Structure 1
Amino acid sequence: MIRTIAKNEIKSALRNTTAILLATIFYLLAGVAVFCGWKNYTTGNEQRKQAKEMFRHEWVEQKANPHSAAHFGTYLFKPFTFISLFDTGLNNYTGNSYRVEAHNQAEMNYAAAQDSDTEMRFGELTIANLFQLFLPMLIIFLCFRSISAERENQTIKLLFAQGLKSSTLLWGKIMGNYILVVGIILPVIITMLVATVLREPGMIFRMLFFNLGYLIYFLILTCVFVAVSALSKNSKNALISSLGIWVVCFIMAPKLVAGISSRLYPLPSRGEFNKMIEFANSKGLKGDKDRMERYKEYLKKTLLKYKVDSVNQLPVNFDGLSMQNGEDYLSKVYQTINDQVEENINKQQNIAQFFSFLDPFLSMQQLSMALAGTDYEHHIHFHKKAQIYRDEFIRKLNIKMAYGDKNYLQYDYEVGPEFFKTMKDFNYSQPNVTWAISNYQYSLYALVFWLGIAILSINPISKKIALN
């Protein structure tokens, strides 16, 4: 009987011109989203590849003092996976390049949002945005008349009089509408899976979980909006209530959660953050001496180590050693202050994951970004790897200056391509899907929680229908 009701629901939906129109619009928008995403993805990758090759060529072909080369530095570029074109997440806001330079611990820079403020206010059109925001509206227009229309037409009493159980009616309606939703998005899902296999097969598990998450998400929404239809006196009320849920959960709640988290755990601006770094590096962290005292203390230790009385008697270039000592302390300062900021960011993340138990949209949004590798955790993972590379990069140049060949003590000491070619490129590998999900396990639990609530609530709601 559930299958029969589902078939009738599908036939009824196919006669619904509004649902067909929304499905057509979805396909058009999906086509635009994939085309624009592919264009941005390929263009961005090509630009990063060319920039990387240019910086590498300029680096290895130079002839310079090691410390001058450290100031010249280089850039590291965050690689974007193929899945990121389906959900750009935070990529447009967190930046895509990292500056490697002496005496400076850089942040990620050159975010796309800096160059397209108006566009970013409305969000970039992606498959994830369509799945998260547009598809729920399509589900609303498929489901809002499911039960309420039966009540308005008085057919629900005839069905019950013939012995049909109210729970069977609800499950039949849910199955019919869910099959329609899956049928609509199936071409898009297959396209994404095939494209991932062809373009980046190592990401197939991420894409499988990406699509599985959305299939669960759509099932939850189908249950919710069929339930709203069942509890509404008429189709008009069902539509208004469903659209109200869409506005509150999908538009207002994310902004409200962001506002609450930023109010409870505020973050410094980049300018304030840089001032904190500079002040702590100059005056010293709590319990440490200031910059000049640290310099004098290190000089004293170095002279004692080599058993000499002055810098001129040292068999090494003290400038190179001193600069590396300063770099080590700068890294300590940066890590200390950055940890404090990250602690607040993690608290903000925890608030968002907590609220995901109240709103399935939030849980799906977080999981989607995590699986696409465009969330905050992936950004920090890259940034930390870039910092490690930067510290070793500068260290090697300072050590070369301190312990170079016989000319290293001369002021105009230079090294050439033979040395610079020994500096390894930065290679970054994105963590696996298990790592991605583990950072958002509470969002995953919230999605499963909502699925359980949606399924378990059907029987109580069906009993209420039978009583009415």
Structure 2
Amino acid sequence: MIRIIFRKELKEIFRTAKLSWMIIGLLVLTALSVYNGYTYYTTHSQLLQESQATTYQQFISQGNKNPHLGAHFGFYAYKPTADLAMIDNGIEDYTGNSFYLEPHKRGIIKFREVTDATSLKSFGFFNIAYLIQFIFPLFVFLICHNIFSKEWENGTIKMLLGAGAGKFQLYAGKLLACMAVIFMIAGIIILAAFILMVACTSTILPGFTIYAAGVCIFAVIMTSIAVSVSLITRSATLSLVILSGFWLTGVFLIPRLSAEISRHAYPAITSVEFEENIFREMQYGVNGEGHKDERREKLLQRTLAEYHVDSIQQLPVFFIPITIEYFEESDGKVMDRAYTAIENNQAKQDAMVRMLALFSPFLAFRDFSMHMTATDMNTHNDFAEKAEMHRRKMGVIVDDFYQHHVEATNDFWKTVPQFSYQPPGIARRVTAASGALTILGCWILAAIGLMFFSYRKLSV
């Protein structure tokens, strides 16, 4: 009987003109998202690679200079385009992609694409992830909102139950029919994402399989909710209104509300306060370290004692690069504390937003999507940390050379390594996405509970 009901529902769904137009619309939207994802990935990848090579080539061919002055010439460290950014570019356009490497100060990541964009950027970039997160649920709701309610409105529910179909058989047949259609739609999107990934990277990335599994979980949640609401309301119009309200609340209201709540609960320090705190700690030290002049004098005395000489003129090395390297390390600790505090505050804000995703599966899937495609804030902070480590490594190389030489040639500049960044591996991404996966798991349990509740309403 389940098979009969399943086939009946599939025929009715595919017979409607609504589904035909939806499939056409889906193919058009999928093609547009694939095109946008391909152009975004290829354009950004090529631009960042060329910029990285150009700035480094300029650095290593700057000619004869004082080592410290040449180090200030610097070069940019660029964050490469994430391997799955063709599917979801996450926060990439808002965080910037370049980190300037020069002595004394940690760089600020620049060149945010959103600064050059029009106001339309506020609606988001239309790619595969956008299609899945925002448009795909509407397809689910439009297909499933009347799967049960039509039976009550047409008066055929008594005929079905009277013809020997049990409650479970009727429920299972209709649910499976909806699942089959929705998974067909999800399969089209996943296939398009797979083709796009192979076209951009010429390989199958391990994170894609987990991403596709997440899409299937999201599809199950949306379908279960839609079918349950159709059964509970017994009205196609009311069902569509409730599901539309659920979509609007989850997609627009809760994300904005969660951002405001987290911002007020854990306010971020202003840039002015941040710079003032760093300057004060660098100049006057922390934990009784003393002013920079006092620390410089102590360093001089230690250096003189180390080389067993009485004056700075008798040193066999230049004292200035020793001073630079010492304060690079000291100031680096100050900056590490300051940036760690910012990252910890961001983590608290993200945790609060994630908790509010208990009220929006769309928000939970967005968090999962960004983590799996390495376009999230964790990856951004990891890039900034690796770039800062490279900046300090560059400073040590230059200062060590400067202790014995007053002029550097291109042969020396070539000893300063090029920057290279690899985003976190699949294990770290899954760990970072564990919170979002837990929330999606809670939504699966909620959807199952809603199905049991609606099943009990299946009576005449």
**TM-score for the superposition, normalised by structure 1:** 0.93
2:437 alignment partner, one of 439, 444, 452:
444
**Contact 2:72–2:102 (Cα < 8 Å) also in 1:** yes
Aligned to 1:130: 131
Distance apart, 1:18 and its partner CA: 3.5
The letter of the residue matching 1:416 is T
Deviations 1:325-381 (A, max 9, x none): 111112101111111111111111211222233322122111111111101111111
Distance apart, 1:54 and its partner CA: 1.3
Aligned to 2:32: 32
What SS class does the counterpart of residue 181 from structure 2 fall into? Answer: helix
The letter of the residue matching 1:31 is A
Superposed, 1:350-361 pairs within 5 Å as: 350-361=351-362
Aligned to 1:381: 382
The letter of the residue matching 1:460 is F
Distance apart, 1:304 and its partner CA: 2.2
The letter of the residue matching 1:38 is Y
**Contact 2:75–2:101 (Cα < 8 Å) also in 1:** yes
Deviations 1:365-408 (A, max 9, x none): 11111111101111111111111111101111111111x2xxx2
1:458 alignment partner, one of 426, 431, 451:
451
Aligned to 1:414: 407
- In the alignment, the residues of structure 2 paired with residue 352 and residue 383 of structure 1 have an alpha-carbon distance, to the nearest angstrom, of 23
The letter of the residue matching 2:26 is F
Aligned to 2:266: 265
Change (3 A) 1:254 1:167: farther
Change (3 A) 1:136 1:99: same
Distance apart, 1:30 and its partner CA: 2.0
Superposed, 1:65-464 pairs within 5 Å as: 65-197=66-198, 199-200=200-201, 204-402=205-403, 404=404, 408=405, 413-464=406-457
Superposed, 1:2-21 pairs within 5 Å as: 2-21=2-21
The letter of the residue matching 1:430 is P
Aligned to 2:45: 45
- In the alignment, the residues of structure 2 paired with residue 80 and residue 349 of structure 1 have an alpha-carbon distance, to the nearest angstrom, of 23
- In the alignment, the residues of structure 1 paired with residue 170 and residue 261 of structure 2 have an alpha-carbon distance, to the nearest angstrom, of 41
- In the alignment, the residues of structure 2 paired with residue 251 and residue 423 of structure 1 have an alpha-carbon distance, to the nearest angstrom, of 48
- In the alignment, the residues of structure 1 paired with residue 308 and residue 16 of structure 2 have an alpha-carbon distance, to the nearest angstrom, of 91
What SS class does the counterpart of residue 285 from structure 1 fall into? Answer: coil
The letter of the residue matching 2:77 is L
Percent identity of the aligned residues?
27
- In the alignment, the residues of structure 2 paired with residue 174 and residue 381 of structure 1 have an alpha-carbon distance, to the nearest angstrom, of 44
Change (3 A) 1:36 1:201: closer
- In the alignment, the residues of structure 2 paired with residue 26 and residue 261 of structure 1 have an alpha-carbon distance, to the nearest angstrom, of 35
**Contact 1:257–1:355 (Cα < 8 Å) also in 2:** yes
The letter of the residue matching 1:98 is F
- In the alignment, the residues of structure 2 paired with residue 281 and residue 455 of structure 1 have an alpha-carbon distance, to the nearest angstrom, of 57
- In the alignment, the residues of structure 2 paired with residue 368 and residue 203 of structure 1 have an alpha-carbon distance, to the nearest angstrom, of 17
What SS class does the counterpart of residue 84 from structure 2 fall into? Answer: helix
- In the alignment, the residues of structure 2 paired with residue 302 and residue 203 of structure 1 have an alpha-carbon distance, to the nearest angstrom, of 56
Distance apart, 1:76 and its partner CA: 0.6
- In the alignment, the residues of structure 1 paired with residue 170 and residue 223 of structure 2 have an alpha-carbon distance, to the nearest angstrom, of 14
Range with greater deviation from structure 2 (291-300 or 231-240): 291-300
Distance apart, 1:61 and its partner CA: 1.6
**Contact 1:166–1:463 (Cα < 8 Å) also in 2:** no
- In the alignment, the residues of structure 2 paired with residue 74 and residue 225 of structure 1 have an alpha-carbon distance, to the nearest angstrom, of 54
Change (3 A) 1:228 1:204: same
- In the alignment, the residues of structure 1 paired with residue 3 and residue 376 of structure 2 have an alpha-carbon distance, to the nearest angstrom, of 40
Change (3 A) 1:287 1:150: farther
The letter of the residue matching 2:74 is G
Distance apart, 1:201 and its partner CA: 6.1
**Contact 1:267–1:344 (Cα < 8 Å) also in 2:** yes
What SS class does the counterpart of residue 104 from structure 1 fall into? Answer: coil
Distance apart, 1:81 and its partner CA: 3.0
Distance apart, 1:143 and its partner CA: 0.9
What SS class does the counterpart of residue 86 from structure 1 fall into? Answer: coil
- In the alignment, the residues of structure 1 paired with residue 281 and residue 75 of structure 2 have an alpha-carbon distance, to the nearest angstrom, of 26
Distance apart, 1:292 and its partner CA: 2.0
Change (3 A) 1:17 1:290: farther
Change (3 A) 1:388 1:231: same
- In the alignment, the residues of structure 1 paired with residue 204 and residue 421 of structure 2 have an alpha-carbon distance, to the nearest angstrom, of 15
The letter of the residue matching 1:22 is M
- In the alignment, the residues of structure 2 paired with residue 210 and residue 456 of structure 1 have an alpha-carbon distance, to the nearest angstrom, of 25
**Contact 2:42–2:200 (Cα < 8 Å) also in 1:** no
Gaps of 5+ in 1: none
The letter of the residue matching 1:182 is F
Range with greater deviation from structure 2 (205-214 or 13-22): 13-22
Change (3 A) 1:6 1:278: farther
Gaps of 5+ in 2: none
Change (3 A) 1:139 1:257: same
Distance apart, 1:4 and its partner CA: 2.7
Q: What do you get for the CA RMSD once the two structures are aligned?
A: 1.8
**Contact 2:88–2:369 (Cα < 8 Å) also in 1:** yes
- In the alignment, the residues of structure 1 paired with residue 398 and residue 120 of structure 2 have an alpha-carbon distance, to the nearest angstrom, of 42
Distance apart, 1:123 and its partner CA: 0.9
Change (3 A) 1:41 1:138: same
- In the alignment, the residues of structure 2 paired with residue 8 and residue 264 of structure 1 have an alpha-carbon distance, to the nearest angstrom, of 53
**Contact 2:128–2:193 (Cα < 8 Å) also in 1:** no
Distance apart, 1:157 and its partner CA: 1.6
The letter of the residue matching 1:226 is V
**Contact 1:167–1:463 (Cα < 8 Å) also in 2:** no
